[in-house]
Structure 1
Amino acid sequence: MGEQGVWGRSAWPAWNPARPGARSARVRGVVVLSLFLLWPLWEILRPEAGGPDAALGAVLPLYGAGWLVAMTAGPRLPPRRRILLVGTLFALAVVAALLRGGPLYLGHAGLFSFVLAAAAWLFPALWAVLLGLGIGTAQALVQWATPGPIHWNLMGGLFPAVVIPVAVVLLIRLVVQLGQAREEIAALAAAAERDRLARDLHDVLGHSLTTITVKTGLARRVLESGGDVERALAELRDVERLSREAHGEVRLTVSGRRRPSLAAELAGARAALRAAGISPILPPSADHVPAELAEPFAYVLREGVTNVIRHSDATRCEVRLGGDWLEVRDDGPGRDAAKPGNGLSGLAERLRAVGGRVEAGPLPAGGFRLRASRA
């Protein structure tokens, strides 16, 4: 409806793009709107009123057709054309009133009610209200200034004839706006769920597949070198276990029920680093980490260790853990953090949700550091 809502000065109404079934709904709308034209046209055309002349008979169909165009196609027009369309309707209403009963008939509210309805449908709400006040005041002045007795029946009908069209159409606009907002919220929720699923699957599968790759490679090297078969079998058993765990984690991730444990991630990091031939230096426990930070820190630890194994060529990895911060350091030759990947972007989103941030970059003395903290 507009960037400032129904009452905004720039709140020009606009329809959503056409959707399936919109054409049939538009046809039904035209039929319903056409029925609204029957009453004012009958008031003018009825035989008791003397019947119309040829000129009035030509103006009224144009007025009715213009009003239908305004109500159906008007919201797709730019503002200037909307103003021109409503202005044309107003001029046709004035001409029809003059042809029907002279200047006194300008105080008849029926025709101008449809002009106000079109204005409330096409203009910013404040404009429609001001236009209604202006037309109502002008009609009252016309009746007051016309020679002869005041027609109190017409005067009394001005207020509802001005207020009701504007109020009803603005209410319809509000309902339409709420419907559009609900659709936008649903679309945003679906996009957020897709982002969550992509982020969680990246975090889950990235680490699991990296560990599986490392352990499978270790078992292969042991068997190729004729080494300890039992060690190779132990690594393959770990691969089988990790595959099952990854399958279960994917199922929990899809259902939104996965909650990683920081303590479990520490144990998994130790095993993964050792399998990759990297010496792990890890904190003994994570009991001092607040509950609201344990989950995002678990994701940071998993992503950091995964990146160390895959990209660092390091021989040592150190994890430091405080009450509101976590660091993953390695002694590799260093990596470029100028273009963070999906993993770091996902971590940044998770930390922002708890008022934290993520920093990543090479260390002055060599190596790479990933730090998550809450200010």
Structure 2
Amino acid sequence: MAKRRFGLDNREAWWGEPIPDPEHKGPGSWRWPIIAVGFLLPFLVPVARSLLAGPEVTVEAVLTGVVVGTYSLCYLGFPFVSGRNRRVKLAFGIGMNVLGVLALASTSASGFVLLYGTAVVVFLVPPAWSVIIDLSALAIGAVILLVQGRFLADYGDLITVGSITLAMFFMGNLVRAVRRLERANEEIATLAVANERERLARDLHDLLGHSLTTITVKAGLARRVLESAGDIPRAVEEIREVESLTRSALSDVRATVSANREVSLSAELVGARAALRAAEIDADLPHAVDNVRPEFQPTFGYVLREAVTNVLRHSGAKRVRVRLGDTWLEVEDDGTATDVVAGNGLRGLTERLAAIGGTVRTSVRPGGGLLVRAEVALPAPSPATPAVRAEPAGGLA
């Protein structure tokens, strides 16, 4: 899984689309226009006073008024653009900074007039574009002040605009990083829920499939005993085992739901022996699991449980053989199967083995029946470092 970064240390963070705020109220919110008007008044009042102070209305004054008015409206309405696609926001940011530069050139306003455009760009476009656009606007503004002879008087305003814009730049990217982190946390929570559902479904499938199959076999055996021989003591014994199995299954279900259930390979061997005997299937099973590595025994217990359940359900086998090794397990039957059908059980076993670096393979035997082999490959041992004999400081005697 690729490492996810939330700062400005990768290309995606610089050029990627800003993540929208899911709690953003959008353009219908009445708060922003009121706040924006308060920010615009220090700029609009002096400009309007200078335009209205002239003895007559000129074309230049009208054009200046249009530029200033459009620039102010863009600042008031930029939340309407925040939900649009990247091209629209990029065009809006560039156009607003162009209007800011024109307003600086056509009025006697100070360099502060550029702040409205540079601040908006920081929150609308990716960081790389905001740096390009804002630096360009500040550079053009400096040139305009030089041409108009106001640079020495107003260069401090440009520095202030650059400082405020830089602070907003980092604040905006901090907001983006927080939103990415929130999205990542939401994804992690969703994946955790999905993984827990998969675990619960897999465990219940493995548990109830085997338990219910064994209960069905033993109940059928008790019925046949009563119908054929009328051997009531034996039938009662089988019913008692069914009762014990149902209680054990109920306990296992509760432990599975609470994620506290552990599978024992030795216990699964005992259960497999009883289930196969009840189904009148000859079972060739090992009597101990000491030769299996302890860390693999729970997973191999699941493999044995699923393989025996499939034998009882589908195989029609008369004989089952189980073999164990330190890192492998084989279950072989002489049933009538001629192909391998990948169901939920096999997929669940594949996931369990993959979690410990192992594999499970199911193949058809030449004479019919299936061979299930689960194996875990151990890492190759590192080459031993040759021992170096220490000699006395004075050399060999």
How high is the TM-score relative to the length of structure 1? 0.86
Q: After superposition, give the CA deviation of every residue in 1:164-205 in whole Å (9 maximum; x if it has no partner).
A: 121111111111111111111101100111111100000000
Q: After superposition, give the CA deviation of every residue in 1:32-58 in whole Å (9 maximum; x if it has no partner).
A: 544552454022123598366653563
**Kept in 1: contact 2:94–2:133 (CA 8 A):** no
Paired amino acid for 1:319: V
- Give 2:197's aligned residue: 194
CA separation of 1:320/1:336 partners in 2, compared to 1, >3 Å: closer, same or farther? same
**Kept in 1: contact 2:218–2:239 (CA 8 A):** yes
Q: What is the DSSP-based 3-state SS (H/G/I as helix, E as strand, rest coil) of the residue aligned with 1:227?
A: coil
Q: After superposition, give the CA deviation of every residue in 1:68-124 in whole Å (9 maximum; x if it has no partner).
A: 2233x2xxx33322322323333343344445437xx567442223233234xx32x
Q: Which piece of structure 1 moves more, 311-320 or 128-137?
A: 128-137
Map 1:230-309 → 2, pairs under 5 A: 230-309=233-312
Instruction: Say whether residues 1:13 and 2:18 are aligned partners.
Output: yes
Question: How far is the alpha carbon of 1:333 from its aligned partner?
Answer: 1.6
Match among 366, 369, 372 for residue 367 of structure 1: 369
Paired amino acid for 1:139: G
- Give 1:84's aligned residue: 91
Paired amino acid for 1:343: G
**% same residue:** 40
CA separation of 1:62/1:253 partners in 2, compared to 1, >3 Å: closer, same or farther? same
Instruction: Say whether residues 1:176 and 2:179 are aligned partners.
Output: yes
Question: How far is the alpha carbon of 1:285 from its aligned partner?
Answer: 1.1
Question: How far is the alpha carbon of 1:145 from its aligned partner?
Answer: 4.3
- Give 1:137's aligned residue: 139
Map 1:344-363 → 2, pairs under 5 A: 344-363=346-365
**Kept in 1: contact 2:328–2:376 (CA 8 A):** yes
**Kept in 1: contact 2:104–2:141 (CA 8 A):** no
**Kept in 1: contact 2:27–2:79 (CA 8 A):** no
Question: How far is the alpha carbon of 1:318 from its aligned partner?
Answer: 0.7
Instruction: Say whether residues 1:114 and 2:113 are aligned partners.
Output: no
Paired amino acid for 1:136: L
How high is the TM-score relative to the length of structure 2? 0.82
Q: What is the DSSP-based 3-state SS (H/G/I as helix, E as strand, rest coil) of the residue aligned with 1:326?
A: strand
Paired amino acid for 1:168: M
- Distance in 2 (CA, whole Å) between partners of 1:171 and 1:208 is 54
Instruction: Say whether residues 1:59 and 2:70 are aligned partners.
Output: yes
- Distance in 1 (CA, whole Å) between partners of 2:28 and 2:255 is 46
**Kept in 2: contact 1:314–1:333 (CA 8 A):** yes
- Give 1:154's aligned residue: 157
Count of residues paired in the alignment: 357
- Give 1:42's aligned residue: 41
**Kept in 2: contact 1:315–1:332 (CA 8 A):** yes
- Give 2:315's aligned residue: 312
- Distance in 2 (CA, whole Å) between partners of 1:212 and 1:271 is 11
**Kept in 2: contact 1:5–1:11 (CA 8 A):** no
Q: What is the DSSP-based 3-state SS (H/G/I as helix, E as strand, rest coil) of the residue aligned with 1:101?
A: coil
Q: After superposition, give the CA deviation of every residue in 1:124-145 in whole Å (9 maximum; x if it has no partner).
A: x333333333333333343344
**Kept in 1: contact 2:302–2:349 (CA 8 A):** yes
Q: After superposition, give the CA deviation of every residue in 1:244-301 in whole Å (9 maximum; x if it has no partner).
A: 1101100110111001111100110100111111111111211232232111111101
Paired amino acid for 2:140: A
Q: What is the DSSP-based 3-state SS (H/G/I as helix, E as strand, rest coil) of the residue aligned with 1:256?
A: coil
- Give 2:228's aligned residue: 225
- Distance in 2 (CA, whole Å) between partners of 1:288 and 1:147 is 92
**Kept in 1: contact 2:266–2:288 (CA 8 A):** yes
- Distance in 2 (CA, whole Å) between partners of 1:275 and 1:52 is 102
Map 1:24-43 → 2, pairs under 5 A: 26=25, 30-31=29-30, 33-34=32-33, 36-43=35-42
Alignment RMSD: 2.7
Question: How far is the alpha carbon of 1:231 from its aligned partner?
Answer: 1.0
Question: How far is the alpha carbon of 1:335 from its aligned partner?
Answer: 4.3
Paired amino acid for 2:320: C
Paired amino acid for 2:90: I
CA separation of 1:193/1:202 partners in 2, compared to 1, >3 Å: closer, same or farther? same
- Distance in 1 (CA, whole Å) between partners of 2:321 and 2:200 is 29
CA separation of 1:47/1:61 partners in 2, compared to 1, >3 Å: closer, same or farther? closer
Q: Which piece of structure 1 moves more, 245-254 or 130-139?
A: 130-139
- Distance in 2 (CA, whole Å) between partners of 1:94 and 1:209 is 79
CA separation of 1:32/1:107 partners in 2, compared to 1, >3 Å: closer, same or farther? closer
Gap runs ≥5 in structure 2: 53-64, 378-397
CA separation of 1:317/1:162 partners in 2, compared to 1, >3 Å: closer, same or farther? same
Q: Which piece of structure 1 moves more, 259-268 or 143-152?
A: 143-152
Q: What is the DSSP-based 3-state SS (H/G/I as helix, E as strand, rest coil) of the residue aligned with 1:175?
A: helix
Query: Could you say which structure has the larger radius of gyration?
Result: 2
Q: What is the DSSP-based 3-state SS (H/G/I as helix, E as strand, rest coil) of the residue aligned with 2:330?
A: strand
